[in-house]
Amino acid sequence: MKRSERYSHVLEYFKKNMQHVTTELEFGSVFQLLVATLLSAQCTDKRVNIVTPELFRRYPDARSMAQADEEDIYEYIRSVSYPNAKAKHLVRMANELCENFNGEVPATMEGLTSLSGVGRKTANVLLAVAFGKAAMPVDTHVFRVSHRLGLVGKTATTPLDVEKTLVKNIPEDMQADAHHWLLLHGRYVCTSRAPHCKDCPFDEFCPKLMENSKVR
């Protein structure tokens, strides 16, 4: 099966069966989505959703969080991964929003990645989810599934490599949804350990069936 055929098959299935999906993170504003996405790095959305309600009640926007001490933020997020580093990033990010963007989250890749703790993946999440732009965030799930389904080649060894390949092959108006399709497929079906192949609609052409495949 040619790669273009793989894309057509995968996208057609997802569009028919999953339609429009969005992030599982819970938030009430663009700023809160940014905070939740920062907290979700190497942490589950379920865990983030447990800690953010109290955090957002105390610090609902950039101006209130900019006044916080790192130690105060830490107490709210101590159960997520790397809470010390994330508390530091959140306070700095909130201050940068107030100083450089009048407290509002910028809607550009350049503006977003200028903020403390915000990398390309996080910026792409904001562009896609909050601002409705064509963007392809590549997290560990999207990275893994893209390789396992043969949507990217072996030379795509970095998240940016995968992002560029996906963007090149997925229509702009489908990219935001496609990110969530691939992410959720990786989170619940094509899991890192012991993937649920019997529940996978793509198992018939999964690269693991190919000779010398490293996918198991």
Going from the C-alpha of 208 to that of each of 29, 147, 170, 211, the distances in angstroms are 41, 10, 23, 8
State the catalytic residue, choosing from 88, 121, 168, 177.
121
Between helix 83-101 and helix 30-39 the angle, nearest 10°, is 150
Q: Residues 80, 47: contact at Cβ < 8 Å?
A: yes
Q: Exposed e or buried b for every residue in 109-138, given b needs 16+ CB within 10 A?
A: bebbeebebbebbbbbbbbbbbeebebbbb
Token readout for 166 is 């996906």
139 is catalytic: yes
Q: Classify 15 as helix, strand or coil.
A: helix
Task: Please provide residue 129's backbone torsions phi and psi, each rounded to the nearest 5 degrees.
Answer: -80, -45
Q: Annotated catalytic residue: which of 61, 86, 139, 177?
A: 139
190 in Cβ contact with 199 (< 8 Å) = no
Let me know: does 52 contact 36? Beta carbons within 8 Å: yes
Active site residues: 121, 139
